[in-house]
């Protein structure tokens, strides 16, 4: 059976991984300063930051609509027997609902709510590619990955609260206090929604080292097959410190770096970094 794996642009996979596994990406829409763009197609995160800085207005994002899903799925089904599609958590976007409507109309499309974002989704996507290559039935792939998604450990350390404040996700007073005290909150995903965990204090490099130690503290519970280090634009030196810390703490077979796309970057701003992996 010919199976194609597809995912929304929120999966934050690199172009190299997308090409290697033959994944089709459905881009969300990002709007800024009165104009709309396709995430990763018409605009990059750095270009988005420039527009936000120049306009003083925070960007916004919109889900892939039903017609867009129908067009992409319909085109792929002319070449393949089935599609496995991944969306950002249904609690965060209407992508899942829209994809399900399109899938019901076309048939042979298996939509999986990742209950996650960024490379938390990417873990599931790459697993689906491996399962499809091994000849597994698409229904069984869907069943296994919907069970496995609860084992994902997804979190980020935010450099600045300015974007979250502008987006209404924290108060101006809280943002001011956090910035004055050099506090960097850990944002985690649980049960499909985002929450705030420990708040770290100090330089971003120091805080990220402590954050990684906290997340990988009990290595016996960590699935060391693969980890993503995903950032929304950060100094290379800091990225290297994070990878060094990760490798010292856990013997991961694969340590993959990715850059967050416009959808995630639009809400967290530059300087954010997270480690994303499976628990056993």
Residue 27 per-residue DSSP state: P
Same domain, 120 and 176: no
- Which of 83, 115, 150 terminates a domain? The answer is 150
Residues 7 and 127 in one domain: yes
CATH code: domain of residue 204: 3.30.1180.10
What average pLDDT does the chain have? Answer: 91
What proportion of the chain, given as a percentage, has pLDDT over 70? 92
Same domain, 14 and 104: yes
Residues 164, 275 within the same domain: yes
User: CATH number for the domain including 137?
Assistant: 3.40.50.10170
Q: Rounded mean pLDDT of 249-278?
A: 94
Tens of pLDDT, residue by residue over 226-250, are 999 999 999 999 999 999 999 999 9
CA distance 111 to 115: 12
Examine the domain organization and report whether 12 and 101 are in the same domain.
yes
Are 49 and 167 members of one domain?
no
The 10 Å CB-count burial string (b at 16+, else e) for 225-248 is ebbbbbbbbbeeebeebbbebbee
On whether the pTM is more than 0.75, the answer is: yes
Same domain for 99 and 158?
Answer: no
Q: Which domain holds residue 242?
A: 152-279
Same domain, yes or no: 132 and 156: no
Q: Residues 58-65: what's their mean pLDDT? A: 92
Is residue 176 pLDDT above 90, yes or no?
Answer: no
**Distances from the Cα of 267 to the Cαs of 180, 183, 200, 263, 271, in angstroms?**
21, 18, 20, 7, 12
Domain count, the chain: 2
Give yes or no: residues 189 and 121 share one domain: no
Please say which residue of 150, 185, 215 terminates a domain. 150
Is the CA virtual torsion 188, 214, 145, 247 positive or negative? Answer: positive
Please check whether residues 141 and 17 belong to one and the same domain: yes
Whether 171 and 43 share a structural domain: no
209 and 117 within one domain = no
Which whole number is the average pLDDT over 165-192? 60
Q: How far apart are CA 204 and CA 160, in angstroms?
A: 10
Given the DSSP bridges, would you call strands 60-62 and 29-32 parallel, antiparallel or unpaired?
A: antiparallel
Last residue of a domain, one of 126, 150, 174: 150
């Amino acid at each position: 059976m010919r199976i194609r794996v597809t995912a929304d642009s929120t999966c934050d996979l690199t172009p190299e991984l997308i090409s290697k596994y033959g994944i089709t990406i459905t881009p969300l829409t990002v709007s800024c300063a009165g104009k709309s763009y396709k995430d990763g197609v018409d605009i990059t995160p750095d270009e988005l930051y420039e527009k936000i800085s120049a306009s003083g207005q925070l960007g916004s994002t919109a889900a892939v609509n039903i017609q867009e899903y129908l067009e992409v799925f319909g085109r792929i089904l002319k070449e393949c027997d089935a599609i496995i599609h991944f969306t950002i958590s249904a609690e965060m976007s209407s992508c899942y609902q829209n994809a399900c409507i399109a899938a019901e109309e076309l048939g042979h499309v298996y939509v999986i709510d990742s209950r996650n974002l960024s490379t938390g989704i990417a873990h599931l996507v790459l697993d689906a590619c491996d399962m499809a290559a091994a000849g597994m039935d698409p229904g069984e792939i869907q069943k296994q990955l919907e069970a496995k998604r609860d084992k994902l450990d997804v979190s980020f350390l935010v450099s600045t609260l300015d974007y979250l404040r502008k987006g209404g996700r924290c108060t101006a007073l809280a943002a001011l206090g956090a910035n004055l005290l050099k506090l960097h909150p850990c944002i985690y995903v649980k049960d499909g929604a985002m929450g705030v965990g420990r708040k770290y204090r100090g330089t971003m490099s120091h805080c990220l080292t402590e954050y990684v130690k906290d997340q990988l503290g009990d290595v016996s519970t960590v699935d060391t097959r693969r980890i993503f280090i995903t950032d929304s634009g950060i100094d290379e030196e800091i990225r290297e410190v994070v990878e060094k810390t990760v490798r010292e703490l856990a013997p991961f077979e694969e340590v993959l770096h990715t850059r967050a796309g416009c959808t995630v970057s639009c809400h967290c701003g530059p300087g954010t970094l997270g480690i994303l992996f499976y628990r056993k």
